[in-house]
């Protein structure tokens, strides 16, 4: 693990943001900095982390920790490095994640196992490691970045993505109920289509760019909505009016009709080949 740039503790709780090198993670880091919360940023791409840290250090203390959360040892290593510096994590943002395109059998098991380690096992372990100190302090905030995909009917392709995000939503809601009298707020942030590099990474940029503009939000808006929601004690935050409508329709439509509608349009936003 490579660390750089921390300016020294200031007695305040830090925000640990995973997947902070770009997209929603970077936007959340910027929003925390705007609110004066010092940061611990982690991701694989050290050049991106260092650039973001340089941008934000004029506002708050920033520590960067390069780590690959596909490595099962990464959560424990992160906790140990943070503890060695005497820092307290008061805000945890489990944002790291990605989609594996195509049919389930079009990728080998190692590819799927890595994605589950990042988006499911790693999220649960980081939460389990940092939550006790929040509970002891009587104050903490946890944002698990899920997706609208966890609230709508399944579609072919990207097989584990929606399933993992559905898990994160239920996990967040259960944990929020357990913590509601202990000063710790937990929120599942459920963005829909967001202007980030996500669709470039999974090879879907050309397809999703044809979707209507009203379906999209920018990452900065998503970040602000998420931080506001967790501060209010909101257990689930679906971003944007269009996405809230889609989630509501998915909930109340008969299963057969909802699945048929999604199946008829899924090739616009999922690679099932």
Catalytic residues: 161
CA distance 13 to 36: 11
Find the distance separating the first CA and the last CA of the chain, reported in whole Å.
36
Cα–Cα distances in Å, from 48 out to 21, 38, 125? 5, 18, 25
**What six digits make up the tokens of 27?**
């936007």
Neighbours of 76 (CB within 10 A): 12
Residues 6+ apart with CB under 8 A from 42: 16, 17, 18, 19, 20, 49, 64, 65, 66, 67, 69, 78, 96
SS3 16: strand
CA distance 55 to 76: 28
53 backbone dihedrals φ, ψ, rounded to 5°: -60, -40
């Amino acid at each position: 693990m490579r660390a750089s740039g921390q300016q020294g503790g200031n007695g305040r709780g830090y925000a640990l943001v995973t997947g902070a090198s770009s997209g929603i993670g970077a936007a959340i880091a910027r929003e925390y900095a705007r609110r004066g919360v010092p940061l611990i940023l982690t991701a694989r791409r050290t050049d991106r982390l260092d650039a973001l840290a340089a941008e934000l250090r004029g506002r708050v203390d920033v520590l960067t920790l390069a780590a690959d959360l596909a490595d099962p040892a990464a959560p424990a290593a992160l906790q140990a490095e943070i503890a060695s510096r005497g820092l307290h994590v008061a805000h945890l943002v489990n944002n790291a994640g990605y989609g594996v395109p195509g049919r389930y059998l079009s990728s080998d098991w190692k590819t799927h196992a890595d994605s589950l380690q990042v988006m499911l096992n790693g999220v649960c372990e980081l939460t389990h490691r940092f939550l006790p100190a929040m509970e002891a302090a009587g104050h903490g905030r946890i944002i698990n970045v899920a997706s609208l995909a966890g609230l709508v009917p399944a579609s072919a392709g990207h097989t584990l993505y929606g399933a993992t995000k559905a898990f994160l939503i239920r996990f967040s809601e259960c944990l929020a109920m357990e913590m509601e009298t202990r000063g710790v707020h937990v929120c599942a942030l459920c963005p829909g289509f967001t202007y980030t590099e996500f669709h470039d990474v999974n090879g879907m940029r050309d397809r999703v760019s044809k979707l209507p503009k009203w379906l999209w939000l920018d990452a900065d808006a998503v970040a602000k909505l998420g931080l506001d929601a967790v501060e209010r004690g909101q257990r689930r935050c679906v971003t944007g009016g269009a996405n809230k409508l889609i989630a509501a329709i998915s909930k109340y439509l008969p299963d057969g009709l909802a699945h048929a509608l999604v199946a008829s349009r899924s090739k616009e936003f999922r690679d099932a080949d």
